[in-house]
Structure 1
Amino acid sequence: MVDMSGLNSAAETYAYEASIFLVVAGITCCLFGHRMLAWIVGLSIGGVVGITIFGIVSTMESAPVGGDEVLGISVVIGLIAGAIVFRFTKRIHMLVGGLVGLLVTMMALTVVEPYYPTTMIMKAIIADVGFLLGARMLRSQSNIISYLASSGAGAIGVMMGLSVLLGDSSSPLMVDISSSTNRTILFVAAAAGTYFQIYWLTREGATDDLDY
């Protein structure tokens, strides 16, 4: 098992500072995330990967490197991971659409299966078709998906930060998702962020029409 005690200890040590950053970044992401979704996702994934690598290597008893070298390696690996994700985030709406199509297809299969049994190969083919259809059908809904994705990511950050600032947890990594307070924060932040982004875009569109 991987020892993550070093990462947990660091998170508790800088819990207050990290929580303030998460709240500010989360609110920004909720309100304006669709304009910088690729950067947000890329930096978030890169940061998580880098921190995880740092936590794992720094707690290894026989680590080949130590100190600043561990930090440097973690930063480099995090940047590489973030760059890879950044490149593919521009098509995130197609991935989300495909997952929706896959989910609907699998639900339909569970209903049909008792009456018309199929082989595993046929199930896989049907699932692939559902994924492709979902990606194609929701391809034109990239704006809505970007609003939901950015608001959802921002809401998670707000929830993690406020859980510490409100005294519900000692670390942003130790959030109790079953808490009614945290779930309310998550829902309100995501809903408010999505509404604001849709409203702002509609307002900008109306302004552009008036300019013409």
Structure 2
Amino acid sequence: MEIFEFSGYLADVGGWAALPLMLLGLSLCLAGKYFIRFIVMVAAFIPVAVTVHLLALSFGGLNNDDAMIAAGGAGLVVALFASAMYKRIHVILAGAFGLVVGSILLGIISEMYEIDSVVLLLLHDVSFMIGAKAFKSWEEELHFAAPSAIGGLFLGIGWSLWTAVSDNLTEVEPFSTENSIILFVAMMGGAFFQLWMFGKGGYMDQRKSLQGHPQQSVSKRPRNEIDFL
């Protein structure tokens, strides 16, 4: 079941886009907290661009090239607007997290049941809105979970492109069951890694505290202190 009408186009660019997408996804999984504004732009761009593209093809009477231009323009406008709303950034991160979780579930369901492309796309949009409502209170956690989720998304799409090129396929299915598994593992692994590395009381905090409070030298310790080392 195809989710994107332009899956054939994705297969055409897979030869040069697969590896950069996977490297970008890995970077977001491991250090996504430093790319929050970029994550917000991507999270706003993807659902808008894909929705406009499919609606323009299905109901607007546009050809594929014109539909992609319209989708890219609409997605870019919304992405720039979302990036400017920095004080509400956690709501968009929550929506991105909801979108990715919905993509995992819908990717598995679409393998078992045939779902119309328009319906499937609308369900992805609904998952974004549900995520924005349900997870917006997870402000700190979302700074680690949402980048890992988007990183997992890029890893899955990059893997699909790589597979398509290797197997000489003419179409790509970015949200197949295999990609859903990749996305889930990358999202969870990346979120836990970033919490351990950058979270409160994590590795970086402990390192900074040690640098700020260096241990006393042996010569300055009290004479009755026993140095077991």
One fold, TM greater than 0.5? yes
- Inter-partner Cα distance in structure 2 for 1:85 and 1:146: 16
Percentage of matched positions with identical amino acids: 20
Change (3 A) 1:147 1:170: farther
- Inter-partner Cα distance in structure 2 for 1:50 and 1:133: 23
2:38 aligns to what?
39
Does structure 2 conserve the Cα–Cα contact (< 8 Å) formed by 1:163 and 1:172? no
What SS is found at the alignment partner of 1:18? helix
Change (3 A) 1:32 1:81: same
- Inter-partner Cα distance in structure 2 for 1:191 and 1:88: 27
- Inter-partner Cα distance in structure 2 for 1:94 and 1:48: 15
What SS is found at the alignment partner of 2:62? coil
- Inter-partner Cα distance in structure 1 for 2:18 and 2:47: 15
Q: How many residues were matched structurally?
A: 165
Note the residue ranges of structure 1 that are not aligned, 5 or more in a row: 101-130
The one-letter amino acid of 1:83's match is L
2:203 aligns to what?
203
Name the Cα RMSD after superposition. Answer: 4.1
> 2:62 aligned to 60, 63, 79, which one?
60
Change (3 A) 1:174 1:210: same
Does structure 1 conserve the Cα–Cα contact (< 8 Å) formed by 2:160 and 2:172? no
- Inter-partner Cα distance in structure 2 for 1:86 and 1:170: 36
- Inter-partner Cα distance in structure 2 for 1:143 and 1:77: 30
How far apart are residue 44 of structure 1 and its match?
A: 5.1
Spell out the pairing of 1:33-182 with structure 2 (5 A cutoff): 33-43=32-42, 45-46=44-45, 49=48, 56=56, 60=62, 76-88=73-85, 90-94=87-91, 96=94, 138=137, 141-167=138-164, 170=169, 174-177=173-176, 179=177, 181-182=178-179
- Inter-partner Cα distance in structure 1 for 2:50 and 2:35: 22
How far apart are residue 50 of structure 1 and its match?
A: 5.4
Q: Does 1:191 align with 2:188?
A: yes
Change (3 A) 1:188 1:134: closer
- Inter-partner Cα distance in structure 1 for 2:133 and 2:12: 46
How far apart are residue 142 of structure 1 and its match?
A: 2.2
Does structure 2 conserve the Cα–Cα contact (< 8 Å) formed by 1:37 and 1:89? no
Note the residue ranges of structure 2 that are not aligned, 5 or more in a row: 99-131, 213-229
2:114 aligns to what?
none
Output the TM-score relative to the length of structure 2.
0.55
Change (3 A) 1:171 1:189: farther
